[in-house]
Structure 1
Amino acid sequence: METNDRTHDRYDAAASRSGNPATAATTAIPVPDPGALAALARRVRGPVLAPGDDGYDAERSGFQVAHRHRPAVLVGAACAGDVAAAVGFAREHGLPVAVQATGHGLSAATDGGLLISTRRMAGVRVDAAAGTARVEAGAVWGRVVEEAARHGLAPLNGSSPGVGVISYTLGGGVGVLARTFGFAADQVRSIDLVTADARQRHLTAASDPELFGALLGGGHGLGVVTAMEFGLLPVARLYGGQLVFGAERIDDALAAYLRWTETVPDTLTSSVALITYPDLPQLPASLRGRSLAQIRIAYTGSVEEGERLVAPLRAVGPLAADDLREMPYSESHTIHRDPSDPHAYLGDNALLSGLDTAALCRVARLTGPDAPVMCVVQLNHLGGVLAAPSAAHAVGHRDARFALRVLSPLDPGNPASDLRTAQALHESALAEVAPWRLGRSVNFLLGDHGKRADAAAVARSAHGDDLHRRLAALKAAHDPADLFRFHPLAAARPAGDAASSTSVAGDGHAEAP
């Protein structure tokens, strides 16, 4: 991951020539002197690292390896006090702040500034009597699912056990049982937050409804969340798995799937993924070089009723695979089978009011075996409890019926022209669904979106104009110096404000297809 990243090697070489690795790309960001760093190190429990220090490269790297933070100062926070000290130091020295737990949703890499790594803060505590879980900033969903399952409970997690809980939830959280129980953000009871003035605050809907609600669905940009408490659901098992169709049945399967989504109950959450696997020897023979449509099912009702519900899909024709079964909820990650190894990728998405078969089939052809780069397309069926209105939280476009995602795995050393090819293909695919497009999902933005020329438009599209203006006002009030600026989904400044309109980078996506 480190030695093969030619893009980063070129950065390091350029930085070396400039004599200052922390400021080679962003000369306006100051670099604290060694004495100041030593003073910070005495105040915190975790490590304080600078470029060239042992452990710096490992600490700044995450699941997304196409882009990495290159901070001037890196604080490996071990507790909320470390986070507060780091924010205070950044404020004192004029350093912008980025945050990373697992790095799944890295959306704007920082050059210079201060990075807070929260992966050491991985505590998870389940209160079975209250039906709640309290997690620290670096906790991942796999650990929460495991702890909750001991008590016959389940969180509203996404499909990947390695995704960070906090950033997923701040983006709204569209998960395995989304249609049945709604957004993960709607289950949150309290948030511990370090604001731009380095204060540690405990927020609830009663204590600070505006700030609490803005964090839930608004993404990052208003502070650093150090802990969160949320409700769990009494779900111990489900009926789920995949129905897989080969290339000759893809169009028929897509048509049947869209018809089928009009009939299913809210207790069934599903998606369909379109993948053309490369012909590589390390892949199983059943996948190598094949184009497949994988319909993923998660149903909280009985096996018998689940079998009845999926019968119209099985009737499409011969299946390449069918592993629908009853499973403990702790195995819910096997439904999507997300990759667990760090890799490079680029992605985009659209939230849709509807969709027709012809448009979806055109997307399948554009991104299929003849595409210039490999694509993974996923269509999530939304609605159900997700559509329940909430003026309290900042989740945008609750009325969306589908989420369409396009993702391309990349070689970290690919030249910029290859990355542009992938982005152009994604734009072409999403153009096919333009008549139904409502905006974007915070959770499903993948790649270095903070560096896009249209980053401000991306932010607006995630929330809609009215909600975006509300978030902009809160951003101006709580972070007037724009300390947290490395995330394209932070509320843009009000018109006329000269400060940056971006904010904190984190782990924003819910699940990789």
Structure 2
Amino acid sequence: MYRSATVQKLAGRLSGPALGPGDDGYAAEVAGFNLVVQHRPAIVVGVRDAEEVRKAVTFAAETGTPTAVQATGHGPSRAAEGAGLLINTRRMTKVTIDPVARVARAEAGTQWHQVVEAAAGHGLAPLNGSSPLVGVVGYTLGGGLALLSRAYGFAADHVTTVEVVTPDGRPRTATAQQNTDLFWALRGGKGNFGVVTAIEFGLVPVPRFYGGGLFFPGETAAEVLHAWRLWTESVPQEMASSLALLRMPELEPIPEFLRGKLVVHIRIAHLGPGDEGERLVGPLRKIAPALVDTLAEMPYKRFAEIHNDPTFPIPYDERSTMLRELGQGAADDLLSLAGPGSDCTDIMVELRHMGGALSRPPSAPSAVDHREAAFCLSTLGLPGARPAHVVDGMAHWGTGRSYLNFLAGPETAQLAERGYGPATYARLGEIKARYDPENLFRFNHNIPPRAKSF
């Protein structure tokens, strides 16, 4: 454990806090959104700019201190603890928009709602996910499965520049023309290669948007699931959707019709006008009487109303697997694992429709390895449940890979290899060995350094 004098030494280099266990403000500084992992490092620092990141990483390199990075803490795996350093980037939130070039630049601690709001006035949008509170950088480094991804691909596909401080304390810029190996690895390789201080990425035009959801009674799950999977076979790539089996607890903030029962929720995000969206979702409305129907044309900045992700910190385990198909057999198996009458305890089991632009290679190759998947299956459960029960039960329908942004909890720290094909994982390990041979950045979905094969 570091002595307080060591904490003070690092504090002298920074304008923000540098705290150890027992210091006032320490608990708030290490806290993340997902409470399933509790960080307790020897030192936590709150950085305010790229120069302070450089100073913190240089300190870690000089002292051999294992290091973690956190902006929002939605997808933690291994806790930063013991003689470790946690770099909190949440104060770095500057966003700039170039509406002519259709490019955004976001600092390390930026959340998606900040980029969406900044871009909306220009009729543009980023490739953000379902939650407005998720950090831009961590989400994008994991690939970024966005609401508009069927039309435009993974968020990582649209990154043009990454500003990063590598584990040796050096600030670098990675693009398709500069530090190309690092540029490839950062887009999909998560937080294994340093601290990203800012990224630049392309924005897409969203002149009109249609979204919301349909909620059905749990007893109609089989009918709804089979109808929805057949419906996805013919929709255009501008139509994105997912289906969730929800078992929400009896908590006051949750709408009464969702509490303590199985409910099926179809989520819709359509890049187009309302009349076109209405026509496309018409068959879904005919499946069964809906408990609630929120589908409507809306400004894109109201995207959070589609999934209604939690807005307050909670503990949860998250698992995922990519499915190569969702035929009748796969759907029936999922119903037996998580449908009516099953012993499923997950509060959410979700299928996200892939395909479209997600299946096409990006202009600049990256470490994102999910182009062949037809659906992404993810589960979210409270601690103490069986986090891998449904995912493992569907393994024979899967590609053998997981989506790392949907892996959270202490048991997921060693699962990074599941996010990649063998060749991609091997190359990531070689790049890790080049930039972080001591594996200082290991409080994550860790890719260990790997000697280059010949």
The TM-score by the shorter chain falls in which range? over 0.9
Matches within 5 A, 1:28-427: 31-112=1-82, 113-280=84-251, 283-368=254-339, 371=343, 373-390=345-362, 392-410=365-383, 419=384, 421-423=385-387, 426-427=388-389
Do residues 434 (structure 1) and 401 (structure 2) align?
no
Is the CA contact 2:156–2:188 (under 8 Å) kept in the aligned structure 1? yes
- Which has the higher mean CA deviation after the structures are superposed, 106-115 or 303-312? 303-312
The whole-number CA distance in structure 1 between the counterparts of 2:367 and 2:129 is 19
The 8 Å contact of residues 337 and 393 in structure 2, kept in 1 or not, is answered as no
Amino acid at match of 1:432: M
User: Do the aligned partners of 2:70 and 2:86 also contact (CA within 8 Å) in 1?
Assistant: yes
CA RMSD of aligned residues (A): 1.9
Contact 2:192 2:442 in 1 (8 A): yes
- SS for the counterpart of 1:438 is coil
Runs of 4+ in 1 over 6 A off after TM superposition: none
Q: Taking structure 1 as reference, are residues 486 and 282 closer, same or farther at Cα in structure 2, changes over 3 Å only?
A: closer
Per-residue CA distance 1:129-149 (angstroms, 9 max, x = gap): 221111110000011101111
1:303 Cα deviation from its structure 2 partner: 1.9
- The equivalent position to 2:436 in structure 1, one of 476, 479, 486, is 479
Structure 1: runs of 5+ lacking an equivalent: 1-30, 411-418, 498-513
Distance 2:203 2:256 in 1: 40
Alignment correspondent of 1:446? 408
Pair 1:82–1:323, CA change in 2 (3 A): same
Instruction: State the one-letter code of the partner of 2:428.
Output: L
Deviation string, structure 1 residues 250-286 (Cα, Å, up to 9, x no partner): 1000001111111111111110010123345554332
Cα deviation digits, residues 381-403 of structure 1 (max 9, x gap): 00100111246211012111100
One-letter code aligned to 1:396? D
Q: Which amino acid aligns with 1:389?
A: P
Corresponding residue for residue 12 of structure 1: none
Measured in 2, the distance between the counterparts of 1:324 and 1:473 equals 47
1:360 CA displacement: 2.6
Deviation at 1:480, TM superposition (A): 0.9
Of the structure 1 ranges 263-272 and 203-212, higher mean CA displacement relative to structure 2 is found in 203-212
Distance 1:436 1:56 in 2: 42
Equivalent residue of 1:312, what SS?
Answer: helix
TM-score by length of 1: 0.84
User: Does structure 2 retain, via aligned residues, the 8 Å contact 1:469–1:491?
Assistant: no
- Structure 2: any 5+ residue segments left out of the alignment? none
- Contact between 1:109 and 1:450, CA under 8 Å: does it hold in 2? no
| SS at 1:218 equivalent | coil
CA distance in 2 between counterparts of 1:268 and 1:428 reads 27
> Are the counterparts in 1 of residues 317 and 409 from structure 2 also a CA contact under 8 Å?
yes
**Deviation for aligned residue 1:428:** 4.4
CA contact (8 A) 1:122 1:137 kept: yes
Q: Indicate conservation of the 8 Å contact 1:254/1:361, yes or no.
A: no
CA displacement 1:178-209 (0-9 Å, x = unmatched):
10111111111111100111011122111121
Measured after TM superposition, the shift of residue 298 of structure 1 is 0.8
